[in-house]
């Protein structure tokens, strides 16, 4: 009972937190190191050094430029909601009177009915974010030590990558039959390919979307542009549902500050998301996702219900991996039965249909 007590679990989590952070950091940075080695023709140690310099530079730029503006935006929104005497009724009625559309009138009536709930939701959400940021600042000393320790461990993990993989391979062959060991290693290799390509692609895609939104929000004077663009980019990591979830707080906050800017924010968000869905995402991420939209939506829904935001992000690569393993096993069993070509034509047509759907 002692081994599985909550205190023991929390102690283990706290003890291994720097190692876990280092593993995640090394896993994501390894692709950058490989890219630099291939493109710049440098040695691995030089690639690791360059990748770490790039990471430190990006974090430094964010802390110096973006984070202060985001914190200021959050404080301004909280103050605006709590002390700004926002007359939602007047805003909605003005909008309703300016329009002859029956649909606008229905929407306005609904907003009037739900205005107090919406206001409380925004107030609570941004208050929680503000408290969280203040807590991070308060715990900066401990967090800084963890981050620095994780960064150092991450460097050694990248340097000793081949040694770690070799030891893992020896361990698997030592404790499992040769055929089972080969199958496990193939699965691990495929899992690594799927997760790395999907996560790296999605992070790059979402970063581009976030930067574009921040720039466009600045140009068209959408309120709190740094924060709103960051929200859009962050939620874009979640397939399918992310853009919808991310756009809601942006449009609602813009509406309360300036209703006309809410329409501007909506137009910018829709245009950017359409460009991303039809051009950017298929080229960066789409080729790495070998499942239909049905399975992607299902994986995001189930993953979110089971594990929250992390489940929504990792649900897709997990489903892709499971699908790949099952299909390989099915192919082997059908070939053994002498009917390996059964339904192959339908599967090929389905792949072509999905390709046309993406592009």
Residue 333 CA from chain centroid, whole number: 37
Between the CA of residue 53 and those of 46, 56, 294, what are the distances in Å? 11, 5, 41
Q: How many CA atoms lie within 13 A of 13 on its CB side?
A: 7
pLDDT digits (tens, 9 = 90+) for 249-281: 888 788 777 778 888 999 999 999 888 877 887
What was the pLDDT predicted at 241? 81
Helix segments in 139-238, DSSP class H? 140-159, 161-175, 178-219, 225-235
For the chain, first and last CA: distance in Å? 55
> 259: which 2 tokens?
């209703």
DSSP single-letter state for residue 84: S
What was the pLDDT predicted at 357? 43
**How far apart are the C-alpha atoms of 102 and 229, rounded to whole Å?**
32
- Work out the number of other CB atoms within 10 angstroms of the CB of residue 262: 21
**How far apart are the C-alpha atoms of 44 and 326, rounded to whole Å?**
36
What was the pLDDT predicted at 118? 59
**How far apart are the C-alpha atoms of 34 and 42, rounded to whole Å?**
10
What was the pLDDT predicted at 135? 63
**How far apart are the C-alpha atoms of 121 and 239, rounded to whole Å?**
24
pLDDT (tens place) for every residue of the chain, 359 residues total: 445 566 777 777 778 888 988 999 999 899 899 989 998 889 999 999 999 999 898 888 877 777 777 777 767 766 665 565 555 666 667 766 766 667 666 776 766 666 666 566 666 666 666 666 666 555 655 677 788 889 999 999 999 999 999 999 999 999 999 989 998 999 999 889 888 888 888 888 899 999 999 999 999 988 888 888 888 998 898 887 888 888 888 887 887 777 788 889 999 999 998 888 778 877 777 555 556 777 778 888 888 888 887 888 888 888 888 888 888 888 878 887 777 677 666 666 555 555 544 44
């Amino acid at each position: 009972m002692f081994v599985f007590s909550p205190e023991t679990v929390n102690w283990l989590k706290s003890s291994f937190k720097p190692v876990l952070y280092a593993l995640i950091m090394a896993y994501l940075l390894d692709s950058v190191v490989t890219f630099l080695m291939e493109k710049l023709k440098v040695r691995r140690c030089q690639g690791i050094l360059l990748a770490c310099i790039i990471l430190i530079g990006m974090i430094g730029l964010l802390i110096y430029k973006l984070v202060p503006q985001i914190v200021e935006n959050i404080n301004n929104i909280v103050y605006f909601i709590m002390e700004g005497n926002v007359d939602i009724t007047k805003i909605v009625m003005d909008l309703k009177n300016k329009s002859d559309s029956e649909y606008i009138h229905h929407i306005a009536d609904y907003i009037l009915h739900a205005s107090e709930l919406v206001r409380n939701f925004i107030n609570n959400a941004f208050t929680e974010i503000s408290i969280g940021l203040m807590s991070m600042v308060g715990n900066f000393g401990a967090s800084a030590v963890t981050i620095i320790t994780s960064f150092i461990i991450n460097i050694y993990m990248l340097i000793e990558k081949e040694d770690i993989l070799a030891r893992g391979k020896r361990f698997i062959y030592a404790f499992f039959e040769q055929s089972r060991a080969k199958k496990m290693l193939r699965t691990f290799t495929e899992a690594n390919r799927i997760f790395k390509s999907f996560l790296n692609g999605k992070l790059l895609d979402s970063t581009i979307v976030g930067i574009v939104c921040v720039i466009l929000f600045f140009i068209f004077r959408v309120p709190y542009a740094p924060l709103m663009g960051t929200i859009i980019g962050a939620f874009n990591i979640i397939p399918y549902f992310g853009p919808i979830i991310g756009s809601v707080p942006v449009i609602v906050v813009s509406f309360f500050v300036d209703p006309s800017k809410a329409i501007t924010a909506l137009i910018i968000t829709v245009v950017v998301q359409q460009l991303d869905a039809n051009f950017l995402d298929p080229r960066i991420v789409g080729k790495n996702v070998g499942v239909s939209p049905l399975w992607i939506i299902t994986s995001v829904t189930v993953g979110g219900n089971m594990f929250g935001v992390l489940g929504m992000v990792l649900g897709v690569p997990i489903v892709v991996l499971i699908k790949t393993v099952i299909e390989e096993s099915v192919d082997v069993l059908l070939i053994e039965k002498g009917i390996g070509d059964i339904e192959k034509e339908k599967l090929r047509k389905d792949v072509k249909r999905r390709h046309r759907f993406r592009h």
